[in-house]
Amino acid sequence: MVNLEISLAGVALKNPIIPASGTFGYGREYAEAYDLDVLGSFSWKGTTAAPRLGNPQPRIAETPCGMLNAVGLQNPGMDAVIETEVPHIAEIFHGPVIANVGGFSLAEYAENCRKLDAVEQVAILEVNISCPNVHAGGKNFGCDPKSAAEVTRAVKAVTNKPVFMKLTPNVTDITEIARACEEAGADGLCLINTLLGMRIDLRTRRPLLANRTGGLSGPAVFPVALRMVWDVYEAVKIPIIGCGGVSSAEDAAEMMLAGAAAVEVGAANLKDPYACKTIIERLPAVCAQLGVDTISELTGGAHHG
Amino acid sequence: MVNLEISLAGVALKNPIIPASGTFGYGREYAEAYDLDVLGSFSWKGTTAAPRLGNPQPRIAETPCGMLNAVGLQNPGMDAVIETEVPHIAEIFHGPVIANVGGFSLAEYAENCRKLDAVEQVAILEVNISCPNVHAGGKNFGCDPKSAAEVTRAVKAVTNKPVFMKLTPNVTDITEIARACEEAGADGLCLINTLLGMRIDLRTRRPLLANRTGGLSGPAVFPVALRMVWDVYEAVKIPIIGCGGVSSAEDAAEMMLAGAAAVEVGAANLKDPYACKTIIERLPAVCAQLGVDTISELTGGAHHG
Amino acid sequence: MKKSFFTLEHARQLTEDTYEVVLSGDTSAITAPGQFVNIELPGKFLRRPISICNWTQDALMLLVKVVGDGTRELVRCVPGTEVDVLSGLGNGFDPALAGRHPILAGGGIGIAPLYGLARRMLEAGLPFTVALGFRTGKDAFYLEEFAALGCRLLIATEDGSLGTRGFVTDCIRNVPECDYVLACGPLPMLRAVHGLPQLTGGQFSFEARMGCGFGACMGCTVPTVNGYKRVCKDGPILFREEIVW
Amino acid sequence: MKKSFFTLEHARQLTEDTYEVVLSGDTSAITAPGQFVNIELPGKFLRRPISICNWTQDALMLLVKVVGDGTRELVRCVPGTEVDVLSGLGNGFDPALAGRHPILAGGGIGIAPLYGLARRMLEAGLPFTVALGFRTGKDAFYLEEFAALGCRLLIATEDGSLGTRGFVTDCIRNVPECDYVLACGPLPMLRAVHGLPQLTGGQFSFEARMGCGFGACMGCTVPTVNGYKRVCKDGPILFREEIVW
Ligand SMILES: Cc1cc2nc3c(=O)[nH]c(=O)nc-3n(C[C@H](O)[C@H](O)[C@H](O)COP(=O)(O)OP(=O)(O)OC[C@H]3O[C@@H](n4cnc5c(N)ncnc54)[C@H](O)[C@@H]3O)c2cc1C
Ligand SMILES: Cc1cc2nc3c(=O)[nH]c(=O)nc-3n(C[C@H](O)[C@H](O)[C@H](O)COP(=O)(O)OP(=O)(O)OC[C@H]3O[C@@H](n4cnc5c(N)ncnc54)[C@H](O)[C@@H]3O)c2cc1C
Ligand SMILES: Cc1cc2nc3c(=O)[nH]c(=O)nc-3n(C[C@H](O)[C@H](O)[C@H](O)COP(=O)(O)O)c2cc1C
Ligand SMILES: Cc1cc2nc3c(=O)[nH]c(=O)nc-3n(C[C@H](O)[C@H](O)[C@H](O)COP(=O)(O)O)c2cc1C
Ligand code: FES
Ligand code: FES
């Protein structure tokens, strides 16, 4: 028997597989397909203080081995989520939930996290300082170590829950941002969010996405994500949730060997709603092949060679 | 009849398709497959002052819709190239050649470019400040606007040939680097070089590449390259050679609509040695579909909508 | 929603770019005409959404217009090819709300879901007229299949080479007693139909670029009078009153 | 080098993980045993290099060991599948330089190119011995094919379940008059064979991860006594004297 349990900044998960924010809504649609209790956790859709309608259509484009999205953080707003979604989640998932939190100012991030501090099911706050699809006038908080640290501190000040900062890959040196978050008190990191990309429609000669650019995700980005997880693992001591292009149990194992304590699966869920379930079912066999009986041993395994 | 001719900083090319540096050697192997004179130009393998053996094996890994390489600028050195390869190129290709120039210091870049100034076949210098696979102690010149400008100035001072700076995508803001090169006198830009990535071998639990990381290229990176070409087109006035993931005539047209005056094709040549020839043959049909009879009209076409 | 493998039985060419594709497999997740399936194709990351034209207990019929690589590959599949399909997606038409003189209005490939809808309405004993629009007579397809239903069938082509010269809207105008529409087709057609003053209500089938097709990604949402709706889950059928252009 | 389509004729299972794959097509670019082909597989970006086991004017025979997705897909292809192949890559063995008592030494899947080599040497009237090594008797394949050539055939298995207990090197040692080797197999085997003091020369076939397979990318270069060489173009066969471990 392979032991799939892991611990993420003190939060015990029955296995390391977590559907990534924005690809799993608040769990409703997948609960129609399978019993969510097989999951280690899930990260809900990035939620902001006010409800957001998101960007105009089209928001989705296909790319080789991947996709672009420019959803633009469409969500019903934090109060509605706490009132309506949280009680519903209680019915469909009984493990610890990761709350992905969006924001446009330090104050908004702090206020969102403060509200979540009292929500029992939410075990981890995942603070998204990396969404490429919202225009807050200027760069992302995640593109600059100082801003990233400021958000971290603002959030840590208002919550007792572990805070994971979600980083963008669209930077020259992700380890610099990672270290800034660690020093500011982050309990963990999640990386990567999407790579900025675009497509042009040859017929109309216009950008395919109404928002012009979108976030690239899916298998295409896996080698980039893996490299960043490796680099950040060497740079910080706090746990990392590895994310980006994972679509099989083998990919998840590779991500853990690079340094991830847990693994988020995003775009793969959209192509195959059963992706996470299938990965979890295959994990014991992959661990056996790799000769480990406790999956957490994989974390960082490729660094000590 | 569609007119495929383009002009690149005053250099006339019979068509916009250029095999990318490092995927075409010095033309020898492809000349065995087809008549290179169908090409607009070709960019030879990144050449440094001293001969370089490159990195240890393995240097190549596969990724979803792409590949990683960590060749590490293996090349016979500038003098040997000028003595041996240039005369041979004269036999197999009669158009203007793009000389891709590597370097580890301002002095080396300048010296390499000075030597090439007298080489008649070389019409354009493509200065690679973006190779992710060489360790010059610290960051790439291409990761910092000041260093990028310094290299540009050093090179411009010693040559009368048009200088194109080849940029790395592994930066927070590529337009900043692009503008710095333009202000320092660059005649054009080439982007993108490869994205930094890695893979781990599950069996050995070690990085697959001996160099650990490698450069990601191929269709997977196309949306990232396209976005950067678009952004840089808005930021500068000098011509752009678009590069990254192009593998069809449609991709080339999309790259031109984003702002590229010419298009380099890299990894696609490795998968299909006839890739560039095939793309060139298909270009007239694609132009006809798009309703243009002069291909250069496509450049930046998606910006004016 | 059900994820299962279907076997391609045949792909039959109907016009220059349009094919009938028949797949066999478990259709138990399909509950209403106007729903769609989302099909995985080798080498494509995203699935391709295609309306259900008709279905039986163990077969699925689609009409596919080749517009790009994915649709081209689908119609080129040889019989026996296994295809991964998410079936029973979307809300579907509700014929029970279709009033007394409904017209089924389709344009181009948009006629696909109307065929299954017409068959279900016949079975339910509901009255209706069918109006189909094509660019030219050469682009028309499925006329015999619709004719064989025995319902009233009107046809319009833009060049007049078949039926009325003009658009589907012209057909509808020619049936003044018709007050309700069940429509599917290109956006300009939907919009024109939506604007017809004679209509008191209608159901309109929309398209959108989709990430998932089952409501999870918010990739396909459009504004409606009742807030944003997901074309894939809350649609693809929207009611006339709620549509925002 | 030639790029052309081959048609898969059959894939026959030989052991748990090893298959014989026969392709028909234009083999005119193949000039020597020990060359390889580079095969495109759907959904894989890089081609897969596979040694030419044997060839006729219009057919190509490969021995393929399934080690990952690409090789798995190749052996699963149904007869009639069209495969995009770059053929006639690499230098190949040169039997003319093989001395008076050459031995063809293969380990595991590395025996593949030796079969074609043996046939060419027979045709040329050159004398030789064949020594094949496998892990166990269960892993052995192509014994009958080699035996049918009528040449002297030695076999070693690590567990002694077939032939000599031990390695190919043990077979070679048992043939003291042998002074030259034509070898293909895993790296440790090549290295052990290379070190045998009885040998005065040899040709060794190497593997490397390849970007192109035709000499353009410098992905596969290895150091030799004569400078860096491309396994794909200057190899895969290297001479004993030039090899650097
Ligand atoms: C609910 C719904 C029902 C549909 N029913 C049918 C049908 O019955 N018959 C039919 O032929 N077509 C139908 N379509 C359109 C069909 O989905 C597209 O033509 C198809 O996805 C194009 O794929 P491609 O690879 O050939 O083209 P490409 O242009 O290469 O596709 C690239 C990407 O864009 C998406 N895309 C392109 N065009 C459309 C479009 N019009 N709508 C949504 N996504 C698009 C593709 O799904 C893919 O992700 C329907 C679309 C929707 C949303
Ligand atoms: C000159 C040469 C001749 C060969 N001849 C044969 C043969 O006759 N029969 C046979 O079964 N195998 C042969 N191989 C090995 C064969 O190429 C690999 O087993 C195969 O590429 C693995 O592909 P995969 O998708 O199954 O495995 P994966 O591990 O999924 O492949 C991933 C990537 O690694 C590369 N790769 C993996 N293993 C090797 C390897 N050992 N050598 C080179 N690249 C590798 C693949 O080409 C691909 O790019 C030869 C290799 C070379 C270089
Ligand atoms: C449609 C879509 C919506 C997303 N929305 C969010 C979001 O709201 N918040 C967030 O932090 N990340 C969001 N992401 C990013 C993913 O959580 C993940 O970081 C990224 O897609 C890379 O993983 P993948 O390659 O497995 O998809 C979204 C991704 C997709 C595809
Ligand atoms: C094997 C290989 C070697 C390369 N060597 C060089 C080089 O020497 N100099 C350089 O500027 N770029 C080099 N590149 C980068 C390519 O020129 C190109 O910028 C990149 O691969 C993106 O294009 P692609 O996706 O079409 O391959 C190399 C790429 C590959 C795949
Ligand atoms: S396509 Fe994902 S919600 Fe509709
Ligand atoms: S694989 Fe490209 S040079 Fe050998």
Complex ipTM, two decimals?
Answer: 0.96
| DSSP for B244-270, written as a single string | SS--SHHHHHHHHHHT-SEEEE-HHHH
Determine the pLDDT at residue C99: 85
Nearest CA in chain D to C41: D43
Ligand 4 center from residue B192 Cα (angstroms): 9
Atom of ligand 2 at shortest distance to CA of D113?
A: 8
Tell whether the model's pLDDT for residue B133 goes beyond 90: no
Ligand 1 center from residue C67 Cα (angstroms): 8
Atom of ligand 3 at shortest distance to CA of A218?
A: 25
**Which residues of chain A have a CB within 8 Å of the CB of C46?**
60, 62, 67, 270-271
User: Cβ of B45 and D218 within 8 Å?
Assistant: yes
d(CA D25, CA B268): 24
Three-state secondary structure of B23-40: CCCCCHHHHCCCCHHHCC
How many domains, in total, are found in chain D?
Answer: 2
Residue C83's domain is classified under what CATH number? 2.40.30.10
Q: What are the backbone angles phi and psi of residue A233, rounded to the nearest 5°?
A: -60, -35
The reply to whether C153 falls in a domain is yes
Q: pLDDT for D83-109, tens place per residue?
A: 999 999 999 999 999 988 999 999 999
Tell whether the model's pLDDT for residue B159 goes beyond 50: yes
Any CB–CB contact under 8 A between C223 and chain A? yes
Ligand 4 center from residue B215 Cα (angstroms): 8
Q: Which helix (H) or strand (E) holds D82?
A: strand D82-89
Percentage of chain D beyond pLDDT 90 is 98
How many CB contacts within 8 angstroms connect chain C with chain D?
4
* Same domain for D111 and D70: no
Residue C101's domain is classified under what CATH number? 3.40.50.80
End-of-domain residue from the set C20, C54, C89: C89
* Same domain for C107 and C84: no
Tell whether the model's pLDDT for residue B171 goes beyond 80: yes
User: Cβ of B302 and A195 within 8 Å?
Assistant: no
* Same domain for D145 and D70: no
Q: Is B131 a catalytic residue?
A: yes
Percentage of chain A beyond pLDDT 90 is 94
Determine the pLDDT at residue B137: 47
Q: Mind telling me how many Å the CA of C4 is from chain D's nearest CA?
A: 22
Q: Which helix (H) or strand (E) holds C187?
A: helix C187-194
Preceding omega of D186 cis (within 30 degrees of 0): no
* Same domain for D186 and D119: yes
Nearest CA in chain A to C49: A271
Percentage of chain C beyond pLDDT 90 is 98
d(CA C209, CA A82): 30
Determine the pLDDT at residue B158: 97
Q: Mind telling me how many Å the CA of C42 is from chain D's nearest CA?
A: 8
Instruction: Give the confidence band of A138 by pLDDT, cuts at 50, 70, 90.
Output: very low
Chain centroid, CA B206 distance in Å: 30
Does A71 sit in the ligand 3 pocket, CB within 6 Å? Answer: yes
* Same domain for D156 and D64: no
User: Cβ of B58 and D209 within 8 Å?
Assistant: yes
Residue C177 domain boundaries: 95-205
Q: Which residues contact C7 (CB under 8 A, 6 or more apart)?
A: C23, C24, C25, C80, C81, C82, C83
CA angle A296, A299, A300 (to 5 degrees): 155
The reply to whether A60 falls in a domain is no
Q: pLDDT for B199-224, tens place per residue?
A: 999 999 999 999 999 999 999 999 99
* Same domain for C100 and C67: no
Q: Mind telling me how many Å the CA of A9 is from chain B's nearest CA?
A: 25
Does B244 sit in the ligand 4 pocket, CB within 6 Å? Answer: yes
* Same domain for C154 and C58: no
Percentage of chain D beyond pLDDT 70 is 100
Determine the pLDDT at residue D99: 85
List ligand 1's pocket residues with C-beta within 6 A.
Answer: A 62; C 36, 46, 48-51, 62-65, 67-71, 109, 112, 207-210, 236
User: Cβ of A59 and C218 within 8 Å?
Assistant: yes
User: Cβ of B25 and D218 within 8 Å?
Assistant: yes
Side chain identity at residue A153, one-letter code: R
* Same domain for D168 and D119: yes
The reply to whether A209 falls in a domain is no
Determine the pLDDT at residue A135: 53
Determine the pLDDT at residue B1: 84
Q: What is the overall mean pLDDT for chain B?
A: 95
Atom of ligand 2 at shortest distance to CA of D66?
A: 26
3-class SS at C148?
A: helix
Instruction: Give the confidence band of A1 by pLDDT, cuts at 50, 70, 90.
Output: confident
CB B68 within 8 A of CB A223: yes
Q: What is the overall mean pLDDT for chain D?
A: 96
* Same domain for C133 and C74: no
Q: pLDDT for B7-21, tens place per residue?
A: 999 999 999 999 999
Tell me the mean pLDDT in the region A208-230. Answer: 97
The reply to whether D223 falls in a domain is no
The reply to whether A297 falls in a domain is yes
d(CA B272, CA A26): 45
Ligand 4 center from residue C172 Cα (angstroms): 59
End-of-domain residue from the set D89, D115, D135: D89
Tell whether the model's pLDDT for residue B305 goes beyond 70: no
Does D89 sit in the ligand 6 pocket, CB within 6 Å? Answer: no
Which ligand number lies closest to the CA of residue A264?
3
Choose the catalytic residue: B65, B113, B131, B181. B131
The reply to whether A161 falls in a domain is yes
CB A43 within 8 A of CB A75: no
Strand partners, C156: C133, C164
End-of-domain residue from the set D65, D89, D113: D89
Does D1 sit in the ligand 6 pocket, CB within 6 Å? Answer: no
The reply to whether B223 falls in a domain is yes
How far is CA A252 from each of CA A256, A295, B268, C183, D191, rounded to the nearest angstrom? Answer: 6, 11, 28, 45, 35
Tell whether the model's pLDDT for residue C34 goes beyond 80: yes
- Nearest-CA residue for ligand 4 atom 23 is B244
* Same domain for D99 and D136: yes
**Which residues of chain B have a CB within 8 Å of the CB of A64?**
65-66, 218-220, 222, 245
Any CB–CB contact under 8 A between C211 and chain A? yes
- Nearest-CA residue for ligand 1 atom 36 is C209
Tell me the mean pLDDT in the region D178-200. Answer: 96
d(CA C29, CA A275): 20
* Same domain for D107 and D84: no
Determine the pLDDT at residue B12: 98
Residue B263's domain is classified under what CATH number? 3.20.20.70
Q: pLDDT for D29-80, tens place per residue?
A: 999 999 999 999 999 999 999 999 999 999 999 999 999 999 999 999 999 9
Determine the pLDDT at residue A304: 80
Q: Which helix (H) or strand (E) holds C86?
A: strand C82-89
* Chain C stretch 24-63, residues whose beta carbon is closer than 8 A to a beta carbon of chain D: 42-43
Chain centroid, CA D101 distance in Å: 20
Residue B260 domain boundaries: 6-55+73-196+217-304
Q: Which helix (H) or strand (E) holds C114?
A: helix C112-123
The reply to whether D231 falls in a domain is no
**Which residues of chain C have a CB within 8 Å of the CB of D43?**
42-43
Determine the pLDDT at residue C231: 98
pTM, 2 dp: 0.97
**Which residues of chain C have a CB within 8 Å of the CB of D42?**
42-43
Q: pLDDT for B256-301, tens place per residue?
A: 999 999 999 999 999 999 999 999 999 999 999 999 999 999 999 9
Tell me the mean pLDDT in the region D195-224. Answer: 96
* Same domain for D176 and D116: yes
Query: Considering all CA atoms of chain D, what is the largest pairwise distance in Å, rounded to the nearest integer?
Result: 49
Q: Which of B22, B28, B218 sits opposite D45 (nearest CB)?
A: B218
Exposed/middle/buried for C224, CB within 10 Å: 0-12, 13-18, 19+? middle
d(CA B29, CA B88): 12
Residue B174 region by backbone torsions, left for phi larger than 0, else alpha for psi between -120 and 50, else beta: alpha
* Chain D stretch 21-80, residues whose beta carbon is closer than 8 A to a beta carbon of chain B: 40, 44-47
The reply to whether C127 falls in a domain is yes
How many domains, in total, are found in chain B?
Answer: 1
Three-state secondary structure of chain A: CCECCEEECCEEECCCEEECCCCCCCCHHHHCCCCHHHCCCCECCCECCCCECCCCCCCEEEECCEEEECCCCCECCHHHHHHHHHHHHHHHCCCCEEEEECCCCHHHHHHHHHHHHCCCCEEEEEEECCCCCCCCCCCCHHHCHHHHHHHHHHHHCCCCCCEEEECCCCCCCHHHHHHHHHHCCCCEEEECCCEEEECEECCCCEECECCEEEEEECHHHHHHHHHHHHHHHHHCCCCEEEECCCCCHHHHHHHHHHCCCEEEECHHHHHCCCHHHHHHHHHHHHHHHHCCCEHHHHCCCCCCC
- Dihedral in degrees, nearest 10, Cα atoms D96, D98, D104, D109: -70
